């Protein structure tokens, strides 16, 4: 496997939290054909990895949140809404990583700054989403459990982000 493919698989896979498949598309918006089957295969791998990570995250939260049956009945639908919105942020992150990987080796100063700004916007989106859902979760869970949920959510994300950061080559190292 070439470096771009490894970067793309590892990064987007770790990137998180499944959503709709990120399909390879041509400039006209049509799905790619067999001539780009490797790219479609990578996209399918990304989808499967994100789905697995989403499942593992939910399991970790369920194991550590210690919800009563009544709390669980109220919490999990809110969690699913939260996760749906979070997935959209993950989609933006995957798109950014894919673009970075596709341009690896030819990234200009302007592109590097653009990637940095977009990455910061993605991080800010996560913070805004948590701020939006804090009162919503707190309507269905008591304060300690609300805090615990967001602690778990943040810890899991930080673990993935550390893995992700360790796999993304520094832009300055391209061509070396």
In order along its 176 residues, the chain shows pLDDT tens digits of: 344 443 444 444 444 333 333 333 333 333 333 334 555 666 777 777 777 787 889 999 999 999 999 999 999 999 999 999 999 999 999 899 889 988 989 999 999 999 999 999 999 999 999 999 999 999 999 999 999 999 999 999 998 888 888 888 888 887 76
Query: 96, 27 in Cβ contact below 8 A?
Result: no
Give the per-residue pLDDT at 104. Answer: 87
Helix (H, G, I), strand (E, B) or coil at 104: coil
What pLDDT score does 166 carry?
83
Please tell me the pTM assigned to this model: 0.73
Q: Which long-range contacts (CB under 8 A, 24 or more apart) does 70-78 make?
A: 71/140, 71/141, 71/145, 74/140, 74/141, 75/137, 75/140, 75/141, 75/149, 78/133, 78/136, 78/137, 78/140
């Amino acid at each position: 496997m070439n470096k771009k493919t490894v970067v793309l698989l590892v990064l987007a896979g770790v990137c998180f939290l499944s959503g709709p498949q990120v399909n390879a598309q041509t400039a006209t918006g049509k799905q790619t054909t067999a001539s780009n089957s490797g790219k479609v295969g990578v996209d399918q791998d990304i989808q499967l990895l994100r789905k697995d990570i989403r499942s593992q995250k939910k399991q970790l939260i369920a194991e550590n949140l210690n919800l009563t049956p009544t709390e669980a009945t109220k919490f999990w639908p809110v969690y699913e809404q939260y996760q749906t919105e979070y997935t959209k942020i993950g989609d933006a992150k995957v798109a950014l990583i894919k673009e970075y990987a596709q341009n690896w080796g030819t990234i200009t100063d302007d592109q590097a700054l653009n990637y940095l700004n977009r990455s910061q916007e993605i991080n800010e989106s996560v913070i805004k989403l948590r701020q939006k859902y804090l009162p919503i979760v707190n309507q269905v869970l008591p304060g300690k459990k609300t805090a615990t949920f967001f602690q778990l959510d943040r810890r899991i994300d930080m673990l993935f982000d550390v893995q992700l950061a360790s796999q993304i080559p520094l832009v300055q190292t391209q061509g070396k």
